[in-house]
Amino acid sequence: MSRVYGAQHDVEGAVGTHLFGIAANNSGSSFLKEALATCRGTWNLVHEGQRMLGFVGPVNRGRVPLIWSAQPDWLARLTDPGAYDWPRTRKAWYFQAFARNSRASVFYTKAPPFLLYVGELVRHFPNAKFLFMVRNPYAVCEGICRNLRGSSLGNREDLPTLAATHVSNCFSYQRRNLERHGERGVFFTYEEMCDEPARVEEKIRALAPELDDLVLRQRLWVKEGRYNEMLTNMNDRQIGRLGAAEIDTFNRVFRRHRDNFEYFGYEFLVPGA
């Protein structure tokens, strides 16, 4: 697929909509990012917005920050508006962006911490719109714990507690985003995207009609080329890896956030059931 690059075109003049993916890590947003990059109407970035050269703001690097919202020091850094320079960041993003044609009018990027500062994105990007997404919290926690095992953090007995705390906090922020900025976006779950892709495509096209060629059910390289896969609901496989002790630990945290479970329509798992 041929590409044009922002360094050689007037991206600022072409873009009429800034579209952001708002989802916690391990929630399926990487696949969505690659699917949107196949659309004729989008300007895209090779990496997450926070990982592009020229991004001015705190960056949660490495593997441990998979649980960034469970760590008060990281939350404080990520939610400090003074830590960001959005005009400089936008200029760097435009310069490095790519598209299928220079007339693309939707700029898209995503990064899990965007979930914390949707209001700042609204203030600093003209016509900001959002794709809000959540995923089954047990599957998200399984992915986090599996990726962190073997690291220095993974040797700590409280890793499942930290993972569940992170996911619960992300649910709280996402609920706040929907209540404050829901009219600027569309909401869907990972499960809906995988199991009813045509319905989710319709939601996205209703928000951004320029994306009339969006196809979700396709095989794509994701995670910066580490996986080449068809859109697939991985929840059963991932949740099936969990032991009763892990589920019980997750539940001790999740029960303190029962209202968010009900808000997003997820049910508590029973260990051993």
Q: How confident is the model at residue 182 (pLDDT cuts 50, 70, 90)?
A: very high
Q: Which residue has the higher pLDDT, 195 or 158?
A: 195
Beta bridge partners, 128, equal: 18
- Calpha distance 232→229 (Å, rounded): 8
Phi, psi angle pair for 238, to nearest 5°: -75, -45
Contact 27, 20 (CB under 8 A): no
The pLDDT value given to residue 72: 87
Phi, psi angle pair for 178, to nearest 5°: -65, -40
- Calpha distance 168→162 (Å, rounded): 10
- Calpha distance 153→67 (Å, rounded): 10
Q: What is the pLDDT of residues 215-227, one digit of tens each?
A: 999 999 876 556 6
Average pLDDT over residues 228-251: 94
Q: How many CA atoms lie within 13 A of 266 on its CB side?
A: 27
- Calpha distance 155→145 (Å, rounded): 11
Q: What is the pLDDT of residues 194-213, one digit of tens each?
A: 999 999 999 999 999 999 99
- Strand segments (E) across the chain: 4-5, 17-22, 42-44, 98-99, 106-110, 128-134, 185-189, 219-222, 227-230
Q: What is the pLDDT of residues 21-75, one digit of tens each?
A: 999 999 999 999 999 999 999 999 999 999 999 999 998 765 557 899 998 888 9
The pLDDT value given to residue 224: 58
From residue 172, alpha-carbon distances to 161, 168, 263 in Å are 16, 6, 10
The residue behind tokens 């926690």 is: 141
Contact 272, 251 (CB under 8 A): no
The pLDDT value given to residue 129: 98
Q: How confident is the model at residue 271 (pLDDT cuts 50, 70, 90)?
A: confident
Three-state SS for 22?
A: strand
The residue behind tokens 């990487």 is: 30
- Calpha distance 171→261 (Å, rounded): 8
Contact 8, 56 (CB under 8 A): no
Phi, psi angle pair for 185, to nearest 5°: -150, -170
Mean pLDDT (the chain) is 93
- Calpha distance 235→81 (Å, rounded): 35
**What residue spans define the domains of the chain?**
4-264
The pLDDT value given to residue 273: 65
What six digits make up the tokens of 24? 């916690």
Instruction: Give the CATH H-level superfamily of domain 4-264.
Output: P-loop containing nucleotide triphosphate hydrolases (3.40.50.300)
- Calpha distance 19→104 (Å, rounded): 13
Phi, psi angle pair for 213, to nearest 5°: -110, 15
Q: What is the pLDDT of residues 86-123, one digit of tens each?
A: 999 999 999 999 999 999 999 999 999 999 999 999 99
